[in-house]
């Protein structure tokens, strides 16, 4: 479960390397704000980071707490 976020980030990075023309910083001609911020690889990386830092830590904590509660005498 902890791997879901990092795997998503890695997927976005691999995608960015495979299709570098999607990253506007490398080729800025005729590009607007949407092209800078909302490219597929960047969005995938952003979702992975949100999951990794905002959702996964609390889930791990609660899962460990539940296991401790379950094993308590």
Q: Binding to another protein by residue 24, rule CB under 8 A?
A: no
- How many chain residues bind another protein (CB under 8 A)? 23
Quote the CA–CA distance of 52 and 71 in Å, as a whole number.
Answer: 27
Q: Binding to another protein by residue 17, rule CB under 8 A?
A: no
Whole-Å CA distances, 66 to 25, 37, 62, 70: 46, 39, 6, 6
Q: Can you give the binding site for another protein, defined by CB under 8 A? A: 1, 4-5, 8, 34-35, 38-40, 43-44, 46-47, 50-51, 55-56, 58-59, 62-63, 65-66
């Amino acid at each position: 479960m902890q791997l879901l976020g990092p795997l998503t980030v890695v997927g976005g990075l691999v995608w960015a390397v495979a299709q570098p023309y999607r990253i506007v910083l490398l080729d800025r001609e005729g590009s607007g704000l949407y092209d800078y911020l909302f490219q597929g690889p960047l969005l995938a990386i952003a979702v992975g980071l949100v999951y990794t830092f905002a959702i996964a830590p609390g889930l791990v904590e609660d899962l460990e707490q539940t296991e401790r509660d379950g094993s308590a005498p």
